[in-house]
Homo-oligomer: A and B are copies of this chain.
């Protein structure tokens, strides 16, 4: 993920990040390394004694990190949202707690972190099998998105792409076929989303689908099937039909083809860093870098 780090200069101020319930080695090491790389200034939110014990056990030096003491993990998640509201934190990172418990206060109406869009997850991957960075959505949060959720998922990814890359992305909506098939809901959704984009209901991107994976990423395969499209063979963003297909895909790329990646939840007022328990330290750091670049961006999507 070197290309993400290249977008950060020594003058970029690190992201003030509320780290929720960091009572395990993985989270603390992630926060420590991101801080050492000047990607974030962690604010450790949770039971102070537990945090200090975990740091001592793992021999991680958290001297100099602010700790905001809370009674338990649930209170830590609520406190993190408060810190954002008060302007003291610019991002939130998940520690050792359940994803549902972590996201609860973030998606709650009173938390004021919500926008008018559904939150969704975006991975950025540097894939040795592809010629440029590839945005993957949604492979981590939304289970069986319907049409309007997919619309938000796409717009969220497009907005993140603008912030990081500063240009209009090409978006390929995937299905099992490049034809519209009445019994394959993913192809019907893809058709609807393509026209939504034509009508301005999705903005700032070239959106097209359905594509099979073959004609999405290979112009030769697309042409063989009679598809002549600017998106075919060259998408910046791959939109998956559901959680299973996206999740299985990104894990196969990471584990079978050593593609590095990082990811964030977007669609909230600040980036949410949500790494899985098995995420490698490099993934945690890349995720912090993505959150930082997106937050400091001066090139958001142009509004119509």
Contact = CB atoms under 8 A, between A and B. Distances in A.
Interface of A: 127, 129-130, 143-144, 174-177, 183-184, 186, 212-215, 217-218, 221, 224-225, 240-249, 251-257, 277-278
Given A224-B277, A244-B176, A278-B225, A251 B213 contact: yes
Nearest to A240: B248
A253 B213 CA distance: 10
A213 B252 contact: yes
A278 B227 CA distance: 12
Contact of A247 (B143, B176, B224, B246): B176
Nearest to A243: B176
Given A174-B248, A177-B247, A213-B255, 19 more contacts: A127-B256, A143-B183, A144-B183, A176-B243, A176-B244, A176-B247, A214-B255, A215-B278, A217-B255, A217-B256, A224-B278, A225-B278, A240-B248, A241-B244, A242-B242, A244-B244, A245-B245, A249-B249, A249-B252
Contacts of A212: 247-248, 251
Contacts of A127: 256
Contacts of A248: 174, 176, 212-213, 240, 245, 249
A184 B251 contact: no
Contacts of A129: 252, 255-257
A218 B255 contact: yes
